[in-house]
């Protein structure tokens, strides 16, 4: 078998230089580019990114081929990667610039409906779902190789423009790792790729909450609780005990039971005057009131 159809080996440093130049050209032609950027030695660090990579590595068909593309992803040789519904498209710099396509079958509706039903009371916010902040039992349901949300090998179709005869060449492997790195920063793309709406989970939780009847006998906030909550003193509407009947107000009391009003005799001004006392302790005589003569 002749190996002359394969291009010559290109060192990693030269590939990185070519990748940067190709990325600049792609940016000029298509007005945008989305390179895979890996910081540090780990391809992915979040739940969805790590879950994607570990899921693919768990299959023997992929476990021997994936490591070939790990260094490509780390070195920034995936210069463009875009995820849409059921499709991953990438440009990977190798000896030349290669185009990679990964087709993902949509998540079966029965499997998605079963997952939504099983997580009805466990997912209440989209942000918790995207951050992987879910109960352990639900996380296991997501990553289950057979019944989970990640695609099986039979649901994945691979293609690359390179001359390698293998279905999963190192450029395809780099693209798959690139998906894991992309899910680290944009986990919502996982649901786009699988063709499902993540809001179905929150909508189901809201519907269930609306169907739960409100228990009228459930204890609520009392006056003491409200006073402590708002920092003010709230008076009770009635001083009677809960078992005692309410006392009717004056407006509701019968006329016979109402007390009659009595007129009080007004006190005269003279009666209210106190005698003026001197230093000796004896009352002093008040001077006679002078009257002015009326003008003639």
- The domain ranges of the chain are 12-210
Most confident of 26-30, 39-43, 228-232: 39-43
Q: Which residues pair with 283 in a beta bridge?
A: 277
pLDDT score recorded for residue 45: 94
- Contact of 108 with 65, CB cutoff 8 Å: no
pLDDT band of residue 190 (cuts 50, 70, 90) is very high
Q: Is a pLDDT exceeding 50 seen at residue 212?
A: no
179-198: average pLDDT = 95
SS3 of residue 151 by DSSP: coil
Which has more pLDDT, 64 or 218? 64
Q: Is a pLDDT exceeding 70 seen at residue 55?
A: yes
Condensed to tens digits (0 to 9), the pLDDT of residues 245-293 reads: 554 544 454 555 555 555 555 554 554 555 555 555 555 555 555 555 5
pLDDT score recorded for residue 39: 86
- Residue 13, judged by CB atoms within 10 A of its CB (0-12, 13-18, 19+), counts as exposed
pLDDT band of residue 40 (cuts 50, 70, 90) is confident
Among all chains, which residue has been given the structure tokens 């499709």?
87
Q: Is a pLDDT exceeding 60 seen at residue 117?
A: yes
176-204: average pLDDT = 92
Q: Which of 191, 225, 44 is nearest to 123 (CA)?
A: 191
Alpha-carbon span 83 to 289, nearest angstrom: 110
Q: Is a pLDDT exceeding 60 seen at residue 226?
A: no
Q: Is a pLDDT exceeding 60 seen at residue 122?
A: yes
Edge-to-edge strands of the sheet including 156-160? Answer: 78-84, 87-93, 97-104, 156-160
What integer best gives the mean pLDDT of the chain?
A: 75
Q: Is a pLDDT exceeding 90 seen at residue 88?
A: yes
Alpha-carbon span 144 to 66, nearest angstrom: 20
Alpha-carbon span 88 to 269, nearest angstrom: 104
Alpha-carbon span 118 to 112, nearest angstrom: 10
Output helix, strand, coil percentages for the chain, rounded to the nearest 5.
40, 10, 50
User: How much of the chain exceeds pLDDT 70, in percent?
Assistant: 58
Q: Is a pLDDT exceeding 80 seen at residue 201?
A: yes
Q: Is a pLDDT exceeding 70 seen at residue 227?
A: no
208-235: average pLDDT = 45
SS3 of residue 114 by DSSP: helix
Which has more pLDDT, 34 or 281? 34
């Amino acid at each position: 078998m002749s190996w002359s159809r394969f291009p010559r080996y290109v060192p990693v440093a030269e590939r990185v230089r070519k990748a940067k130049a190709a990325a600049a050209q792609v940016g000029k032609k298509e007005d945008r580019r989305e390179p895979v950027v890996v910081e540090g030695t780990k391809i992915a660090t979040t739940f969805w990114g790590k879950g994607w990579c570990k899921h693919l590595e768990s299959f023997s068909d992929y476990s021997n081929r994936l490591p070939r593309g790990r260094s490509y992803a780390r070195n920034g040789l995936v210069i463009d990667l875009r995820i849409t519904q059921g499709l991953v498209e990438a440009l990977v710099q190798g000896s030349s610039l290669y185009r990679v396509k990964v087709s993902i079958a949509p998540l079966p509706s029965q499997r998605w409906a079963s997952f939504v039903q099983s997580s009805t009371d466990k997912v209440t916010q989209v942000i918790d779902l995207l951050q992987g902040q879910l109960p352990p039992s639900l996380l296991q349901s997501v990553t289950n190789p057979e019944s989970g949300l990640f695609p099986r090998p039979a649901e994945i179709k691979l293609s690359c423009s390179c001359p390698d005869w293998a279905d999963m060449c190192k450029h395809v492997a780099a693209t798959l790792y690139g998906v894991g790195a992309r899910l680290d920063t944009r986990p919502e793309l996982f649901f786009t790729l699988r063709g499902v709406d993540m809001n179905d989970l929150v909508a189901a939780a809201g519907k269930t909450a609306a169907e739960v009847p409100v228990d009228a006998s459930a204890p609520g906030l009392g006056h003491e609780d409200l006073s402590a909550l708002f920092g003010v003193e709230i008076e009770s509407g009635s001083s009677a005990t809960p078992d005692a009947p309410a006392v009717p107000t004056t407006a509701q009391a019968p006329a016979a039971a109402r007390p009659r009003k009595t007129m009080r005799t007004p006190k005269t001004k003279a009666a209210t005057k106190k005698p003026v006392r001197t230093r000796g302790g004896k009352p002093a005589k008040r001077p006679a009131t002078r009257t002015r003569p009326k003008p003639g």
